[in-house]
Amino acid sequence: MLSRLTRPQALAVCAAPVVALIATAVFAPLPFSLAQPGMTANVLGDNQGTPVITISGAKTRQTSGQLRMTTIEATNPDTRVSLGDVLSAWFATDQAVMPRDSVYPSGQSTKEIQQHNTAQMKESQDAATQAALKYLDLNAKDVKVTLKLADVGGPSAGLLFTLGIIDKLDGNGSGGDLTGGRTVAGTGTISADGKVGAVGGVALKTQAARRDGATVFLVPKDECGDAKSELPKGLRLVPVTTLKGAVDSLVALENGKHSVPSC
């Protein structure tokens, strides 16, 4: 004989599948990656004991200050990210939830992704060299630039590589340092003709920059909004769209001018 369920009992029975679905969703893998502030590296210095920028065929100068390229660290493509992980990261200021396909090309193995990122870094370094030598009106056949930065992939260090080459060869054009002795950080792709492109993850990169002592951060202008969303205290944002604009802004900062653009 079936007994009649009370309303609380009926609700409990109906709720059981819902609870099971929620529990499943919490622990089921989702197509996201979790990111956090990564390492930064001074392109004017050494990386693991090796100079980041080596130049031959032209006279170089001693530099002071730092130009720090910035990175984010993301969970690897094989990591299972659950709803619980996503919710936890969503409310954290030092983490971000990003679609996995925006971090890693879809359908590729870990090895293929590493090869892709390495190829992008090489293209970025080549473009940085071309942009810097073109800006300084130097012949690429006469000047050889070698860039080495271990354990970093992708194109987002392009702008900082370019500025590092310019600082080592010419500084601010008047005998001083392009940095003005500051710790300057930033991000942005670079094209051979000196255009700066967006990269993503800038809110996390500003945190990495400030953590490592930067007081100025060069950001692609289109990403000003993202950069301002979690901006650390003591870090000044300078929007850039071109290499010339970035150099002009740094020179203006050194000279104490008030015409430096801001986000």
Q: Domain boundaries in the chain?
A: 37-76+120-254
pLDDT exceeds cutoff 90 at 99: no
Interval 1-39: pLDDT, tens: 444 444 444 444 445 444 443 444 444 556 777 788 999
Give whole-number Cα distances, 19 to 9, 27, 188, in Å: 15, 13, 45
For domain 37-76+120-254, give the CATH number.
Answer: 3.30.230.10
Q: Cβ atoms within 10 A of the Cβ of 55, count?
A: 19
Cα→Cα distances 65→42, 59, 132, 216, 249, Å: 9, 19, 19, 12, 16
Question: Distance between CA atoms of 36 and 225, rounded to whole angstroms?
Answer: 18
* Sign of the torsion angle spanned by Cα atoms 151, 158, 71, 86: negative
Model pLDDT for residues 212-235, shown as the tens digit of each residue: 999 999 999 999 999 998 899 999
What is the widest separation between alpha-carbon atoms in the chain? 97
CB 253 within 8 A of CB 182: yes
What whole-number distance in Å separates Cα of residue 233 and Cα of residue 108?
39
Helix pair 158-169, 110-135: axis angle to 10 deg? 40
User: Is-contact 157 188, C-beta < 8 A?
Assistant: no
Q: 101-147: per-residue pLDDT in tens?
A: 766 766 677 778 778 888 888 899 999 999 999 999 999 999 999 99
Q: Which residues of 6-20 are buried (b: 16+ CB within 10 A; e: fewer)?
A: eeeeeeeeeeeeeee
pLDDT at 29: 55
Residue pair 235/209 in contact (Cβ under 8 Å)? The answer is yes
Taking the CA atoms of 186, 123, 44 and 49 in sequence, report the sign of the dihedral they define: positive
Cα 80 to Cα 205: distance, rounded to the nearest angstrom: 24
